[in-house]
């Protein structure tokens, strides 16, 4: 399955932004370099973008740019973790995650109630867990598996785009972390139950955390 692309011309036409804006956002890293895909076409070289991601991103930038500075926006979209720390209580109070997921996380990761400040990686783990639990895609038992996987590999993946796949084959669940969130191909009896992008989750979590602060 290849991603549907959108040409630069069509993009500017559709969104009504100018070249200047597009390149300003690129300079500020609001739009990642990897999304600029160069291809030759009959008019010479043309630049294309992943259609879905790009339209969504521009929509969000346009929606938020009046409230936040470009640098603050860059922070939201950057896949690198913020240096935010929240306590368990705050996470619950502000409805960022549910108590079920948080309890499961604390139980699995073996964090004592005493050290209740969670770093961004830890919050992200709980957030991903919460998302999957709430969607009903995974059971509590599989949630444990997820926490262990993320706890182990998340620090090494800091700031990189990464896909989280949950697959099942003959009822046996497996989590796969895919750096770069590329396509992976598995034999036909493997079913991908859930698929999340860590960059997207990071973005959502950052918005949740900073949004409810102000």
Q: Is 12 in the site for other proteins (CB under 8 A)?
A: yes
Q: At its nearest, how many Å lie between other proteins and the CB of residue 186?
A: 37
Residue from 3, 23, 72, 107 touching other proteins (CB under 8 A): that is 23
Burial of residue 111 (number of CB atoms within 10 Å: 0-12, 13-18, 19+): middle
Residue from 5, 7, 24, 51 touching other proteins (CB under 8 A): that is 24
Dihedral over alpha carbons 208, 65, 157, 182 (to 10 degrees): 110
Residue 115 DSSP SS3 = coil
C-alpha 12: how far from chain center: 25
* Residue (17 or 178) nearer to other proteins, CB: 17
* Residue (36 or 145) nearer to other proteins, CB: 36
* Residue (13 or 52) nearer to other proteins, CB: 13
Strands 191-197 and 117-118: unpaired
Taking residues 37 to 76 in sequence order and writing x for each that binds other proteins by CB under 8 A, - otherwise, the string is: ------xxx-------------------------------
* Residue (10 or 52) nearer to other proteins, CB: 10
Distance CA 206, CA 20 (A): 27
Strands 44-50 and 37-41: antiparallel
Distance CA 205, CA 77 (A): 11
Contact range with other proteins by CB under 8 A, out of 12-20, 106-114, 132-140, 153-161: 12-20
Number of residues that bind other proteins (CB under 8 A): 14
Q: At its nearest, how many Å lie between other proteins and the CB of residue 111?
A: 28
| Owner of token pair 């262990």 | 148
Nearest CA among 56, 52, 61, 46 for reference residue 9: 46
Q: Is 19 in the site for other proteins (CB under 8 A)?
A: yes
* Residue (39 or 191) nearer to other proteins, CB: 39
Residue ranges in contact with other proteins by CB under 8 A: 9, 12-13, 16, 18-20, 23-24, 26-27, 43-45
């Amino acid at each position: 399955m290849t991603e549907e692309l959108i040409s630069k011309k069509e993009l500017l036409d559709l969104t009504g932004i100018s070249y200047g804006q597009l390149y300003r956002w690129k300079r500020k890293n609001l739009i990642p370099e990897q999304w600029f895909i160069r291809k030759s076409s009959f008019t010479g070289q043309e630049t294309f973008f992943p259609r879905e991601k790009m339209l969504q991103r521009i929509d969000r930038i346009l929606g938020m740019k009046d409230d936040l500075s470009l640098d603050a926006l860059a922070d939201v979209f950057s896949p690198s973790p913020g240096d935010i720390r929240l306590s368990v209580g705050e996470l619950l109070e502000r409805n960022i995650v549910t108590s079920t997921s948080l309890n499961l996380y604390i139980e699995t990761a073996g964090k004592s109630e005493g050290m209740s400040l969670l770093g961004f990686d830890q919050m992200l783990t709980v957030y991903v867990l919460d998302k999957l639990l709430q969607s009903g895609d995974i059971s509590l038992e599989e949630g444990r598996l997820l926490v262990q996987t993320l706890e182990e590999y998340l620090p090494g993946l800091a700031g990189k785009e990464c896909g989280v796949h949950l697959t099942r084959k003959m009822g046996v669940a497996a989590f796969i972390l895919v750096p770069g969130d590329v396509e992976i191909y598995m034999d036909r009896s493997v079913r991908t139950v859930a698929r999340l992008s860590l960059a997207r989750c990071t973005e959502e979590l950052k918005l949740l955390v900073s949004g409810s602060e102000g």
